[in-house]
Amino acid sequence: MVNKVVFTVFFFGNLLLILYLSKSLKQTQRSLIIFYNKTVIWTNDFHISPIHDIKDQLSTFNVHFIDKSLSGACGHTDSCAKDLKVLNQQNGIAPNFNERKQFYEVYKNDLEMNQVKVFMCFHSTAMCELFMPFNRTIIIIAATRYEFGRHGKEEWQTLNKNLQIIASNPKNVIAGNNLYDAEYIRYFTGIKTIVLPSICAYTKAFYSRKLGKPFLIAPMHKKSFSIAFKKKLTNSLEHLQSSIKIAHLREHYKGRYSYFKLSQHPGMIYVPYQVSLMSLFEQYRMNIPLFFPSHNLLTEWHFKHRVVGERTWDGISGNLKNSSVISGVLSSDIPDPNNESDINAIRYWLKFSDFYQWPHITYFDSTEDLAQKLISTNLDEISAKMKIYNQNLTQALHEKWRRILKNIE
């Protein structure tokens, strides 16, 4: 028996819902919403937070997201890919040539895909190579070192060439959600990379400290350093006869915790394991006072103890090197960002970290200095200044996105 297909159409304002109904024993096979006069954005990222944030940022614009997340945490944002073809969690970051070709062949005449006007990639950046044959606008916003999934010399060089091709189209955007990754892309490609920071207003929580709550020490990935750091800080506070309490975040909260609960703590203490973190964006936008080692101190601690272990991919693997597998294209005066043997290279690149770019962060030069500043810092005043900065940044970023979307039209 040959199945007949009936198209049932419903209109809802500027939405058109089409149901494909089979006349056989099969039930409804597929539904498709067609968005008129909307900019449809496709994403299938491996990190839920950057795309969750950009959806929130663009919620007042005339856009619609098709989000087919490949992240293992996609259930938290109800964005898991349910009907994504060809790609999956195993091959999605680095699909081979045949898989890329198959993806295009499967989707080039797909009704849902034909509505898409923009492809957006955060994590990983290299996934946007997959979308180049569709000849649509591509927006890349790197949230970590962009060669993720393209670590070999030849594939990294090919990625650079493709990014240069993408950047040559004025409707496309190459950006980082932080200055470090923007400068990192520029170092290896020469592309003038802009910064489109995450806002993370989705937390809906703001600083409201509660007496008796401890300062929280953010997670560190060097256990021995983490234990020693807390011990030294505790001793310094006791020496000053302070009643201030401190606690490791993951010890204070054994499981999941709400943003509201986090906002009740007097502040967050960091010895960062990465130069940019979505949790840091969240806490800063919540106006929670933040305490970080000074630029010189973090440079020293990283050189001796490798505390910023996720600054480079080699750092994550523990296979530290003194150079990248490819060369940069900028002046020879700029040191290699993946050189873990040169303290001057480390110092140069760490200055681009979020926590050295944002205002109203409190820096310490030792654990003793930190103890003094935990006692003497006017936390409410700092939080109020952070609030004003965040409001101004949000307005400026909204205008930047307005211009980007207008340029796509």
Per residue in 49-72, pLDDT (tens digit) is 999 999 999 999 999 999 999 999
The model's confidence at residue 26, banded by pLDDT at 50, 70 and 90, is very low
Q: Which long-range contacts (CB under 8 A, 24 or more apart) does 224-232 make?
A: 225/271, 225/301, 225/305, 225/307, 226/271, 229/271, 229/367, 232/367
Q: Quick check: helix, strand or coil at residue 401?
A: helix
Mean of pLDDT values over 226-241: 97
Give 81-87 contacts, CB < 8 A, sequence gap 24+.
Answer: 81/44, 84/44, 87/44, 87/130
Q: Is 238 exposed, middle or buried (0-12, 13-18, 19+ CB in 10 A)?
A: exposed
Give the 3-state DSSP-derived string for 210-273, with helices as H, strands as E and coil as C. Answer: CCCCCEEECCCCCHHHHHHHHHHHHHHHHHCCCCCCEEEHHHHCCCCCCHHHHHCCCCEECCCC
Q: Give the pLDDT confidence of 290-320 residue by residue, as tens digits.
A: 999 999 999 999 999 999 999 999 999 888 8
Statement: residue 85 has pLDDT above 70: yes
Residue 207 has what pLDDT? 98
DSSP E strands in 13-154: the ranges are: 15-22, 30-35, 39-43, 63-67, 116-121, 137-142
Alpha-carbon distance of 24 to 1, in angstroms, equals 8
Q: List the single range of 9-23, 334-348, 375-389 with lowest mean pLDDT.
A: 9-23
Give 37's pLDDT tier (boundaries 50, 70, 90): confident
pLDDT in tens, 129-176: 999 999 999 999 999 999 999 999 999 999 999 999 999 999 999 999
Write down the mean pLDDT value for the chain: 91
Q: Give the confidence band of 88 by pLDDT, cuts at 50, 70, 90.
A: very high
Mean pLDDT is highest, among 27-31, 123-127, 140-144, for: 140-144
Q: What is the mean pLDDT of residues 109-126?
A: 93
Residue 343's φ and ψ, nearest 5 degrees, are -65, -30
Report pLDDT for 94.
84
14 has pLDDT over 80: no
How confident is the model at residue 24, as a pLDDT?
A: 35
Percent of the chain with pLDDT over 90: 84
Mean pLDDT of 350-359: 98
How far apart, in Å, are the Cα atoms of 3 and each of 20, 21, 27, 109, 226? Answer: 12, 10, 12, 21, 65
pLDDT tier for residue 32 given thresholds of 50, 70 and 90? low
β-bridge pairing 30-35 and 39-43: unpaired
Tell me the whole-structure pTM to 2 decimals. Answer: 0.90
